[in-house]
Structure 1
Amino acid sequence: MTAWAQTLTGRALDFAEPTIAREHLFGEVAHGLATVNRYAGQLAMPLSVAQHSVMMAEAAFDETDDVELAAFCLLHDAHEAYFGDWPSPAQEAVGEAMARQAVSAGINALAAEALRIRHRRGIAEVKATLDRAVMEAAGLSYTRFQMRGAEVHEFDVRMLRTERDALMPRPPRAWAAVIEGARRLVVRSNPRFKCWAWPEAEDRFRGALARLCPLTEPAALTA
């Protein structure tokens, strides 16, 4: 038996072989991302993954006029509708704990480090499996999504830097060098960086999905 989760619509999502249809993008994914908070909720006002994704997609389109890139930016975190937004530092902390436990159990340090790497790869595999299903549902090429991964990641880091500077107190320590060196993004639709309530974030995500992924069915907006 593989791991599964019950979704908003009451169906079972099998993580090993997830089934995601077009209507699920407008329903389960849009709602899930709108109600999942970034940064483990450690902000004065909640910032949803849906808002992060919409603003990142808008900024990417404004800079590049590239619809495909904007669509990939919109959906790059869509797996978090089912997986949740597990902050990278927390993921690393679990990996480090696994390595320490392995050493305490008598496993050599090299093998313990390999265990930590396997943990990271396992998370990446689950996310990638969900990403493939999402891209296919949106009428996008998963292969193209992988090929353009570096571009998407660059905008993701720049969006993170923009969010941090707009919404967080002064950091007590420097963040990763790639974040500290990232250029901030300009989001014309939200220059003062207002955090949207989840119903607005859900609606805006659905609207962006309909605009950027033309193979999705507008009728699904009522699903």
Structure 2
Amino acid sequence: MQTRSGLAVDLARPDLSAIDMMVDVAIPLSLTNRFAGHTAKLDCGGFSTAQHAYLGADAVLQETGGDTDAALAFLLHDAHEAFIGDPTSPFVASLDRMAIDRLGRPVNGVIQSTLKIMKAGLDAEIYRRLGLDWPLSAYLHGIVADMDLRMLRRERDELIGDPPGPWANNVETAAPIRSLEGWDFFRGGSRMDVAREWMSRLRAWHPRHVEVQSRGGEPWLLPS
């Protein structure tokens, strides 16, 4: 694939050492809609992966008493979507049910497992670009998984509308996020504002405060 800054990336064997974190990650995340854009309670524009990441990260920061490592882990947990988009869980599960091998035999699970490997490869490269340790510790992985599920439940309730039937039990029973009470958290701003919000947290929480700003200066052509 070709990134916004003009780099070629082999998704099967990625090298992200030269990516621009603003242009190639923050902006694409701000343009990637959660739930494939099916957020019925929003008039237009959708709710982005970047918003999901920084709102959940803010909640992690508060709930952990200011643990910036945990907040940063959540901020970055979907950063791979800057390169592959956000394939929804029902979409991936359906591909798995439909997948067959060359002999016509079902190969359930191959799509999800392959996608998981691809995401992990991209995550590892993003962490390498930032000079951060990978993989996450069991502690950080647990915090990210818990908040991800709780954000899914909250986003569904705030953005999608009444479901025609119950979702998975772990979604229905996910704990509330007390620090994100109120609709205003989910309204968002322009896509550029959202990208800046994501980047500001990356700069603030990086343990070594490395320079992660756009090499070519701030891009101004992103549509609102």
Q: Which residue of 1 aligns with 2:192?
A: 199
Q: Are 1:166 and 2:158 counterparts? A: yes
Deviation string 1:163-211 (CA, Å, 9 cap, x unpaired) is 1111121111100111100012234597633233311111101101111
1:122-163 CA distance string (max 9 Å, x none): 010000000001112222211235663222111000011111
In 1, the alpha carbon distance for the partners of 2:182 and 2:197 equals 12
Q: Mark the CA change 1:138 to 1:187 in structure 2 (over 3 Å): closer, same or farther.
A: farther
Distance 2:150 2:23 in 1: 28
Name the structure 1 match of 2:3. 7
The code of the aligned residue for 1:92 comes to A
Residue 22 of structure 1 contacts residue 217 of structure 1 at CA under 8 Å; is this kept in 2? no
Letter matched to residue 75 of structure 1: L
Matched, 1:118 2:119: no
Distance 1:106 1:191, change over 3 A: closer
- TM-score norm. by structure 2 comes to 0.85
Judge conservation of contact 1:72–1:145 (CA < 8 Å) in 2: no
Q: Percent identity?
A: 30
- Which structure: greater helix fraction? 1
TM-score (normalizing by structure 1): 0.85
Task: Render the CA deviation track for 1:34-93: whole Å, top value 9, x for unaligned.
Answer: 000000000133001001000010000010021111001000000000010000111001
Equivalent position of 2:32 in the other structure: 36
Distance 1:43 1:76 in 2: 22
Which position in structure 2 is the counterpart of 1:152? 144
Q: Which residue is 1:84 aligned to?
A: 85
CA spacing shift, 1:116–1:213, aligned 2, 3 Å? same
Q: In the aligned structure 2, how far is the partner of 1:43 from the partner of 1:157?
A: 17
Question: Aligned with 1:6: secondary structure?
Answer: coil
* Residue 13 of structure 2 corresponds to residue 17 of structure 1: yes
Take 2:112 and 2:212, find their aligned partners in 1: how far apart are those partners? 37
May I ask how many residue pairs the two structures share in their alignment?
Answer: 210
RMSD over aligned Cα atoms: 2.3
Query: 1:49–1:77: 8 Å Cα contact kept in structure 2?
Result: yes
- Separation of aligned partners in 2, 1:190 and 1:29: 28
Question: Contact (CA 8 Å) 2:72, 2:202: kept in 1 or not?
Answer: yes
Structure 1: segments with no counterpart, 5+ residues: none
Secondary structure of the equivalent of 2:58?
Answer: helix
Whether contact under 8 Å (2:21, 2:213) holds in the other structure is: no
- CA–CA distance in 2 between the matches of 1:17 and 1:214? 27
Rounded Cα–Cα distance in structure 2 between residues aligned with 1:25 and 1:133: 12
Q: Distance in 1 between matches of 2:195 and 2:82?
A: 12
